[in-house]
Structure 1
Amino acid sequence: MEIRLPFGGKDRQVDIDSLPGALRVGGIFRCQFPSPLSQKSMEDKIWEGLNHYKKFFDNKKILTVVNDGYRRTPTDLLLPMIWDYVEGGEFIVATGTHRNPSGDELRKIFGPLLDEVEPKLHIHNCYDETSLVDIGKTRLGTPVRLNREVIEADVIIAINSVEPHFLAGFSGGRKSIVPGLASFDTVQANHQFAKDINSSSLYLENNPLHLDLEDAMSFLGDKTILGIQCVTDRAGRIIGLFVGTLNEAFLKACDCAKKFYVVEVPRKFDIVIANCEPPLDVNLYQLQKAQEHGSRMVKDGGVLIVMGACKEGVGSEYFMKLVEFYPTPKEVLEKGINDNSFGIHKLIKTARQLKCFKIYYVTMLEGYLVRKVYFKSFNDVNDALKSALSEIGDNVELAFLEDAGYTVPEVKH
């Protein structure tokens, strides 16, 4: 039996029959998506959703917010459909704490409209003090500092894709503004709530990180904020589109995403291979999203193997410097719980999981970088699988979670 998994732009083959011991494949779990929406269907939904608000666009400063390359959002497809509403306004890429997009990435985001957008295009920089405005604090104490373009706009339109998010419940919606267009200290303060067990995929109610984001958005209550919120399949084709006020469209998109991104899993397994696909396989920092979802399927005493190429390296030097203060999982659990440094939540979540099962990473990175953040490092999935079998023994059950950065397993027993 051979199973092929995408990795770094090519397929990697897992040759089950050549492995030692009595290894059983208990399941290959992947999302099942409906046919994508037609062009006319999408255009009709946008017209129905925006036409009601057309009067709010007259003689107003309009800001269109788009995602960077770390999301599957088909902005290049959606932007032409709303162009008549937004062409006279400004545009901004919500990078959050990510790096600036390259020229090629901007071309991919905006498509043929880039040349028209570029003279009015802003790239958010969470460290640029001159571009940030302080507008208050949330009830949980998070300072809210946002990009000046947000503060000066009368009408904001956010184009997002909505998928499960391992901390905020779902991506999209309010995340376009906070953390997308927020200062580093705002993002860092909000991320302290990521240590809470309720800050997890699919959870909005009682999720302190999400509730803090909502509270931050309340400071913009005097503005017209609209959302073009889509749900896509693995190829980025739109299967659900929701248009209206940002929160209304976002919540409808969450309901849609929950239908298609959750897979039912009958039980936990001895070994789970969680394969991460673009764009979340881009670096080590993003790859933990696949780890979080895969961890739901692993038996105590088992092994989780996370696959992702990490072509751009670790993704956060800040994160790698942080781990120097906590060189072992034991130390981060003992000392890190009161540390609100950016990225601490990833170390704590990993350390908690390592108390239950082992975690291997299969990447293109040098091994010492992976080991530094508590994982056993491999460059080949078959080597990782052989090592897992030697740890656990014979007669084990293996499962695969495809597109694990977005796919959320729901274990029944």
Structure 2
Amino acid sequence: MHVHNPIDPTNKDLLLPESTVIYGMSAPPALSDPEAAIQKALSAPIQSKPLSVIAKEKLGANKDASAVIVISDNTRPVPYKGKGNILVPILTTLLETGYKSQHITVLIATGTHRPMTGEEIERIIDPWVFAQGIAVVNHDCKDETILTYLGKTERGSEVKINSSYVNADLKILTGLVESHFMAGVSGGRKSVCPGLISEHGTFLFHGANLMGHPDSRDLNLKGNPVHEESLAFAKMAGVDFIVNVTLDHKFAITGVYAGDLEAAHLAAFEMVKGYAKVPITEEADIVITHGGFVGINHYQSAKAAFASIGALKKDGYLISIANFTDKKDIIGSITYKTVLAILSLCGAEALIKVLHSKDWPFIPDQWQVQKWAPVFEKIPLDHYYYFAPQLSKADGPGLPGINAATLTDSKDYSEVVQTLLQVISKRESGRKLKIIWLSDGPYSIPYVK
């Protein structure tokens, strides 16, 4: 059968066995008039005054009031460019209210990700923004000179936030709300934490205890310590207004949620929770998934593997395909690779023991490896097959699972998947295997109904 492959840059379908069972989300339809929906959200927000009113009040207190609009980096397909984008209407509201362009900053919430290049920034932001002379800058979690210390949370996290944001008179967050494997859902408070915090601020927030907590999981906010800690950071930093969206499979807007930090985000969460959980009839011997838009490197592809757990039989097989578009590093940081090597060499159980040891020094990016561990608690390391056209045979050592490049020279997604299925069939002596294709990759959460 032919299925849509959302990560293939050539838009070529993926060829799968006819017996494959397909599961995906039933997302709401795209908005017929997203521009009107955005304007309505700004003027009639959720539990908040309209953005224009808030903006005027700030100007009333300071005629040279500054504004910071926080945006996501290129790991999220937030519409900041072209027809129906959310950034231009926000900026237009501020300019029409009386803000000077030189007093407005668009701040990229990179979190612990690397800063975006100029080319990458131009690719995601509407040219109109640059034409207005509005500054677009990266956050840098490692640069202590651009951070302001605000104290500690009740859990003891160090709260250092980007100074441009802290010092701004008007603080606006934007983002995408979708399932998130540790924070429940993305968006809302995550624009501040981890978006604008210090690297050291992640030590508790992304530490082994919070990452390993049973409530730190997808589509759950109740009792989720990662969500709670992120919200604590955001409240300490202050938030005047948020504009979050939900998107469909083609990245078209399905909903706009603007207004109060918690109320607007919760409304978006309730919408996503209603369709992102996907009931399945039974677990499969083989699950095939994809890295989605977020899967720009191996680090980010952990989300797809983690989301697949509910569809996998114990000791089953997982095939993950991706398109690693990160031109800086297709794997991840040196710290990520270091901790990942421990997982690859010693297994999931040993890794978890190490991360919880009192003698273990916290290493940035260990949290992503910790989220790989549950995958390999359900299936053996060598039951995970992964493929991205950018990977070569030399990229295998230190990575968990089996690199498809060691089994085939093909760069065609269908040919690679067929090869991997044949390899698995041979390993299983040709017995009939149930196959599932997760059409939404990391964005849907399958579970046995």
TM-score, reference length from structure 2: 0.83
Specify the alignment match of 1:381 in structure 2: 417
In structure 1, runs of 5+ residues without a counterpart are 18-23
Match among 220, 224, 231 for residue 214 of structure 1: 231
Specify the alignment match of 1:399 in structure 2: 436
Distance in 2 of aligned mates of 1:184 and 1:16: 45
What CA RMSD, in Å, does the superposition of the two structures yield over aligned residues? 2.2
Is this contact kept in 1: 2:37–2:256, CA < 8 A? no
Residues 10-66 of structure 1 show CA distances to partners (whole Å, capped at 9, x for unaligned) of 33633426xxxxxx3233434443132412233222222224534433233221111
Is this contact kept in 1: 2:192–2:233, CA < 8 A? no
**2:78 is the alignment partner of 1:83:** no
**2:75 is the alignment partner of 1:70:** yes
* Identity, % of aligned positions: 24
Is this contact kept in 2: 1:64–1:86, CA < 8 A? no
Specify the alignment match of 2:44 in structure 1: 48
Distance in 2 of aligned mates of 1:3 and 1:35: 21
What pairs up with 1:1-16 in 2 under 5 angstroms? 1-3=1-3, 5-10=5-10, 11=12, 13-16=14-17
**2:388 is the alignment partner of 1:366:** no
**2:322 is the alignment partner of 1:308:** yes
Distance in 1 of aligned mates of 2:385 and 2:132: 43
Residues 86-121 of structure 1 show CA distances to partners (whole Å, capped at 9, x for unaligned) of 343222111111122223322233212232455533
Distance in 2 of aligned mates of 1:376 and 1:144: 40
Aligned partner letter, 2:422? K
Aligned partner letter, 1:406? Y
Specify the alignment match of 2:253 in structure 1: 238
C-alpha distance 256-98 of structure 1, shift in aligned 2 (>3 A): same
Distance in 2 of aligned mates of 1:137 and 1:283: 33
Is this contact kept in 2: 1:30–1:401, CA < 8 A? no
Aligned partner letter, 2:427? E
Deviation at 1:336, TM superposition (A): 2.5
Deviation at 1:153, TM superposition (A): 1.3
Is this contact kept in 2: 1:31–1:407, CA < 8 A? no
Aligned partner letter, 1:132? L
Distance in 2 of aligned mates of 1:128 and 1:288: 27
Specify the alignment match of 1:21 in structure 2: none
C-alpha distance 237-335 of structure 1, shift in aligned 2 (>3 A): same
The DSSP-based 3-state class of the residue aligned with 2:122 is helix
The DSSP-based 3-state class of the residue aligned with 1:355 is helix
Specify the alignment match of 1:286 in structure 2: 300
Deviation at 1:348, TM superposition (A): 3.3
What pairs up with 1:180-219 in 2 under 5 angstroms? 180-192=195-207, 193-219=210-236
C-alpha distance 274-54 of structure 1, shift in aligned 2 (>3 A): same
**2:125 is the alignment partner of 1:110:** yes
Distance in 1 of aligned mates of 2:435 and 2:342: 35
Residues 314-337 of structure 1 show CA distances to partners (whole Å, capped at 9, x for unaligned) of 132220123345532153133233
**2:340 is the alignment partner of 1:332:** no
Specify the alignment match of 1:346 in structure 2: 368
Is this contact kept in 1: 2:141–2:197, CA < 8 A? yes
C-alpha distance 346-63 of structure 1, shift in aligned 2 (>3 A): closer
Deviation at 1:283, TM superposition (A): 0.3
C-alpha distance 147-268 of structure 1, shift in aligned 2 (>3 A): same
Is this contact kept in 1: 2:246–2:255, CA < 8 A? yes
TM-score, reference length from structure 1: 0.90
The DSSP-based 3-state class of the residue aligned with 1:107 is helix
C-alpha distance 146-242 of structure 1, shift in aligned 2 (>3 A): same
Specify the alignment match of 1:34 in structure 2: 29
Residues 144-175 of structure 1 show CA distances to partners (whole Å, capped at 9, x for unaligned) of 11110121012211111111111111111111
Is this contact kept in 2: 1:361–1:370, CA < 8 A? no
C-alpha distance 67-352 of structure 1, shift in aligned 2 (>3 A): closer
Distance in 2 of aligned mates of 1:264 and 1:99: 36
